[in-house]
């Protein structure tokens, strides 16, 4: 990303507009022209700042995250998961789940989006989750050879992404907290 001359407030406004457009029209129909119009900026500025639509969309998603997983350290794995999940309210979780469902479809036809998602969102989250889990192993909460350790991301993403499909209900904090306590922690031997 190029050096920005935008104020943090203006950047936040721009990212919010990108996410609103993404929710309204989906990734494939989202255009840099629409973003420029919505944000009262030029398309040239958008390309100069972010280089591409995938980079802008994923950076907006990343900006929307309340911090990294690795920053959380409550002293217990259960406490860490609960602290992470308490960062977003139910309304934000539902919005995020809808965005991720739409993007999961779009990545199949947009390799640039998939690459940007992996580089800017997935890899940093995986690094943070690895840190969180490594601390639990170091504290002796989880055995270092527990085979479920490598599947924690899959379990979390699965719970987040499939509740709507399985139960026709939006994902919410209560569901995810119960899922962590009932599925993930027991799988890890906690």
Q: Do 60 and 71 fall within a single domain? A: no
Q: Is the pLDDT of residue 6 over 90?
A: no
Judge if 96 and 52 occupy the same domain. Answer: no
The pLDDT score that the predictor gives to residue 67 is 64
**For residue range 49-66, what is the model confidence (pLDDT) as tens digits?**
898 898 899 888 888 666
Question: Is 22 in the same domain as 94?
Answer: no
Measured in degrees and rounded to the nearest 5, phi and psi for residue 57 equal -65, -45
State yes or no: pLDDT of 96 exceeds 90.
no
Q: What is the DSSP letter of 147?
A: G
pLDDT band at 146 (very low <50, low <70, confident <90, very high): very high
Question: What is the predicted pLDDT for the residue at 15?
Answer: 92
24 by DSSP, 3-state: which?
Answer: helix
Q: How far is C-alpha 43 from the geometric centre of its chain's CA atoms?
A: 26
Task: Judge whether 165 and 104 are in contact, CB under 8 Å.
Answer: no
Domain range enclosing 58: 1-64
Give per-residue pLDDT as tens, 13-40.
Answer: 999 999 988 888 888 888 999 999 999 9
Calculate ∠ Cα 19-96-168, nearest 5°. 130
Closest to 123 in 3D by CA, of 85, 49, 68: 68
Higher pLDDT, 45 or 76: 76
**Pair (11, 87) in one structural domain:** no
Mean per-residue pLDDT, 155-161:
86
The answer to whether residues 137 and 119 belong to one domain is: yes
Q: What is the DSSP string of 50-97?
A: HSSHHHHHHHHHHHTS-S-GGG---SSHHHHHHHHHTTS-HHHHHHHH
Task: Choose the final residue of a domain: 12, 41, 64.
Answer: 64
Last residue of a domain, one of 44, 64, 84: 64
Residue where a domain stops, chosen among 64, 80, 99: 64
The Cα–Cα gap between 185 and 148 comes to 10
Residue range 76-85: mean pLDDT, rounded: 94
Specify whether 45 is located in the same domain as 72.
no
Looking up residue 59, the CATH number of its domain turns out to be 1.10.10.60
Q: What is the mean pLDDT of residues 110-121?
A: 85
Confidence of residue 107 (pLDDT cuts 50, 70, 90): confident
Together in a domain, 23 and 91: no
Q: How far from chain centre, in Å, is Cα 19?
A: 13
Q: What confidence score (pLDDT) does residue 93 get?
A: 78
For residues 175 and 113, membership in a common domain is answered with yes
My answer on whether 30 and 112 are in the same domain is no
Is pLDDT of 89 > 90? no
């Amino acid at each position: 990303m190029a050096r920005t001359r935008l104020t943090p407030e203006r950047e936040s406004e721009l990212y919010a507009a990108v996410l609103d457009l993404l929710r309204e029209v989906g990734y494939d129909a989202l255009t840099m022209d629409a973003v420029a119009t919505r944000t009262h900026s030029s398309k040239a500025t958008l390309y100069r700042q972010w280089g591409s639509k995938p980079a802008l969309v994923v950076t907006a998603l990343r900006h929307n995250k309340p911090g990294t997983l690795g920053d959380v350290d409550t002293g217990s794995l259960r406490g860490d998961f609960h602290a992470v999940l308490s960062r977003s309210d139910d309304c934000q979780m539902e919005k995020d789940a809808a965005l991720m469902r739409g993007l999961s479809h779009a990545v199949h036809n947009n390799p640039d989006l998939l690459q940007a998602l992996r580089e800017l969102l997935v890899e940093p989250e995986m690094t943070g989750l690895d840190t969180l889990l490594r601390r639990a192993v170091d504290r002796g909460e989880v055995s270092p050879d527990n085979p479920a350790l490598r599947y924690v991301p899959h379990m979390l993403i699965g719970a987040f992404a499939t509740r709507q499909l399985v139960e026709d209900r939006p994902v919410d904090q209560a569901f995810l907290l119960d899922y962590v306590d009932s599925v993930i922690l027991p799988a890890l031997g906690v």
